[in-house]
Chain A
Amino acid sequence: MAFKNEEDKKAYWRENLALMTKLLLIWFVVSFGFGILLVDLLNQIQLFGFKLGFWFAQQGAIYVFVALIFIYMYKMNQLDKRYGVDEE
């Protein structure tokens, strides 16, 4: 058993779920929130030649998606190390 004890194991899983929930919340807000549900509201704001809601729907959300996965990767690697379950 690589975990020191049962407590550690539970804590690792809890932290994993908390991180996942946080990132999925952002995922939902930028795509379904800004790009779809609030699109008309945000379209009243202009960003260069874009209406903001339209920009999120066709560009912005995708950039955020990419960032989310890399953040998850980075944070999880740290978590693995902290609990001594990283693969090397």
Chain B
Amino acid sequence: MDVQLLTFLIVGASFALYIAIAVWARAGSTQEFYVAGGGVHPIANGMATAADWMSAASFISMAGLISFMGYDGAVYLLGWTGGYVLLALCLAPYLRKFGKFTVPDFIGDRYYSQTARTVAVICAIFVCFTYVAGQMRGVGVVFSRFLEVDIVTGVVIGMAIVFFYTVLGGMKGITYTQVAQYCVLIFAYLVPAVFISIMVTGHVLPQTGFGASLADGSGVYLLEKLDGLSTQLGFNEYTSGTKGTFDVFCITAALMVGTAGLPHVIVRFFTVPKVRDARKSAGWALLFIAILYTTAPSIAAFARVNMIETINGPTVSEQAPTGTPYSEAPSWITNWEKTGLISWDDKNQDGKMFYSGDERNEMHVDRDIMVMANPEIANLPAWVIALVAAGGIAAALSTSAGLLLVISTSVSHDLLKRNLMPDISDRKELFYARLAAGIAIVIAGYFGVNPPGFVAQVVAFAFGLAASSFFPAIIMGIFMKRMNDKGAISGMLAGIGFTAAYIIYFKFINPAANVSQNWWFGVSPEGIGAIGMLVNFAVALVVFKMSKEAPAEIQQLVEDIRYPKGAGEASAH
């Protein structure tokens, strides 16, 4: 069977599965629509959280990024996992005890202020749209490469599927679909990784193969070889970085804190029955995430060695390779050339391809293809290629659904029910939630088809905003019971204002100046959220000192959320 037919079959089967689950798990009330009735098993919730979190970017792009960045790729690996420790220890149990539906709910009630609620709603909606546009694009790319339909058709199919199970099932439908999607995506990620690890090093586990010696009998360690190849070709040594230490520190911190502050991640911990389940669920979620995140850097290293050796020719003796003739190029090079993601420019007219980090380089290889082309680079069977396509789509769909739900909840619950139309019935609210989800999908689809040029730029924005606004406000809301509305609001505004100004200046107003010499203390726009967070804390504390502390009943509320049981439920909604 050829690759395309197999891809149709496997992707089609996965879609049928998602739809079947959606029909089975329809939501009947707002409680089910927003938080799946609060009755999800912690392990299932952990899987769903993992699928929700790991987006098209984690699945498709991350290993490729690391492959080209070497050591510096650690900012993503540490940043996107370390945030869960903060979540589990400092946020999840308390927010679960608080027992409301959304992050703006917490901010609004804890700081007894509609202004605070509104600021939080706007941030939540902005962060989610930023993200979801990228996901829809991811679906489009996978469809167009593997099923050879055009991107528009691909995006529309993706929209239709997400629409179906988000609008019908709400959080309940999404949670159980995400469990299935996690299984599909992790299987699809691991199969090629294991195959390649065995081929290159003889180790079944990519995590140990990463640090093993090569299977060709030379006794050279994989990373040693990669360091050697890299320096020989004019790149930096793979295992050491090029970014400044303080910048790496700040980017990692911004991504960690941003992760812990992202509304679509936090909301997952409202879906489990008890406080102790929230703790457990965070542990399982990180375990499921770690399976992919510890495999990714191994794939990155294997893929880089494979790619360099395919293009430049294998290192046989002491002599450095001079390139593979284009006429003998493997089919993956020509396949991906069609998509424009690989290109070859025969500068020295010798008919051979050559890849390097200096003036001899003749190749352009897009980072995003590393995971998708990996099975082809390693000559794996056709069904593995089809599986990777299904996995990429699962990753994109699961994340989009989670984000769309936050958008619809923010509109129907935080904006309408808690703000503009407090008297609407549960049925009406549910109707508005579905309507908002539907509209959000259409808008996201539009951005998927016509991606604004700044999608990649605004990702830094999403994390920076979450890090500099939500995270400090929630932390102080739990651990400083006297913190008041004025302190929290001015802190959020100062944090966001500072972070946004820095990013907008370097990314949009004056991109030419975006070099390390001009950065404050050498901190790049990607890492500035960490500084913005400190600004938020500092401003909040100063303003707090100058104004009246939170009223007694709010302090009592904070007391209550600190204990799993006892002094009554935090809220009877």
Contact = CB atoms under 8 A, between A and B. Distances in A.
A36 B249 contact: yes
Nearest to A51: B239
A85 B290 contact: no
A36 B252 contact: yes
A48 B211 contact: yes
Give me the 8 closest cross-chain CB pairs, A-B, nearest first: A49-B221, A57-B74, A2-B566, A49-B211, A69-B283, A58-B297, A50-B211, A73-B279
A72 B252 contact: no
Contact of A68 (B66, B85, B274, B563): B85
B88 interface: yes
* Most chain B C-beta atoms within 10 Å of own C-beta, residue among A43, A49, A87: A49
Interface stretch (B28-36, B75-83, B392-400): B75-83
Give the interface SS of chain B, mostly helix, strand, loop or mixed. helix
Given A2-B565, A20-B90, A43-B239, A66 B249 contact: no
Contacts of A59: 207, 210, 294, 297
B439 interface: no
B270 interface: no
A63 B562 CA distance: 28
Contact of B564 (A9, A50, A86): A86
A32 B290 CA distance: 18
Contact of A66 (B77, B222, B287): B287
Contacts of A31: 78, 82, 252
Nearest to B251: A36
A4 B121 CA distance: 40
A69 B566 contact: no
Interface string A1-41: 11100000100110010001001100100011001110110
Contacts of A39: 71
7 contacts: A12-B563, A48-B221, A49-B221, A50-B211, A50-B223, A59-B207, A76-B93
B211 A55 contact: yes
A37 B247 CA distance: 11
B566 A3 contact: yes
Give the interface SS of chain A, mostly helix, strand, loop or mixed. helix
Contacts of B77: 57-58, 61-62
A13 B73 CA distance: 38
Nearest to A80: B564
A61 B212 CA distance: 19
A66 B284 CA distance: 8
Nearest to A48: B211
B245 to A, nearest CB: 6
A6 to B, nearest CB: 11
B563 A3 contact: yes
Given A43-B239, A48-B211, A68-B85, A35 B74 contact: yes
B366 interface: no
Contacts of B252: 31-32, 36
Interface of B: 66, 71, 73-74, 77-78, 81-82, 84-86, 88-90, 93, 207, 210-213, 221-224, 239-240, 245, 248-249, 252-253, 274-276, 279-280, 282-283, 286-287, 290, 293-294, 297, 562-567
Contact of A76 (B274, B276, B286): B276
B532 to A, nearest CB: 18
A62 B564 contact: no
Contacts of A58: 66, 71, 73-74, 77, 297
Given A59-B210, A87-B275, 13 more contacts: A9-B566, A47-B211, A48-B221, A49-B212, A54-B223, A58-B66, A58-B77, A59-B207, A63-B290, A65-B84, A69-B282, A69-B283, A85-B566
Nearest to A85: B565
Contacts of B211: 47-50, 55
Given A31-B78, A59-B294, A66-B286, A77 B565 contact: no
Given A69-B84, A87-B274, A87-B275, A36 B248 contact: yes
A24 B89 contact: yes
Nearest to B297: A58
A9 B78 contact: no
A51 B224 CA distance: 10
A3 B163 CA distance: 47
* Most chain A C-beta atoms within 10 Å of own C-beta, residue among B81, B290, B564: B564
A6 B563 CA distance: 13
Contacts of A3: 563, 566
B78 A61 contact: yes
A9 B249 CA distance: 37
A39 B251 CA distance: 16
A87 B88 contact: no
Nearest to A76: B279
A77 to B, nearest CB: 6
Contact of A62 (B86, B221, B276, B294): B294
* Most chain B C-beta atoms within 10 Å of own C-beta, residue among A2, A43, A50, A57: A57
Contact of A65 (B74, B85, B248): B85
Nearest to B238: A54
Contacts of B66: 58
Contacts of B275: 87
B256 to A, nearest CB: 8
B245 A36 contact: yes
A57 B283 contact: no
B89 A32 contact: no
A49 B566 contact: no
Contacts of A62: 77-78, 81, 290, 293-294
Nearest to B92: A69
A68 B148 CA distance: 45
A34 to B, nearest CB: 11
Nearest to B249: A36
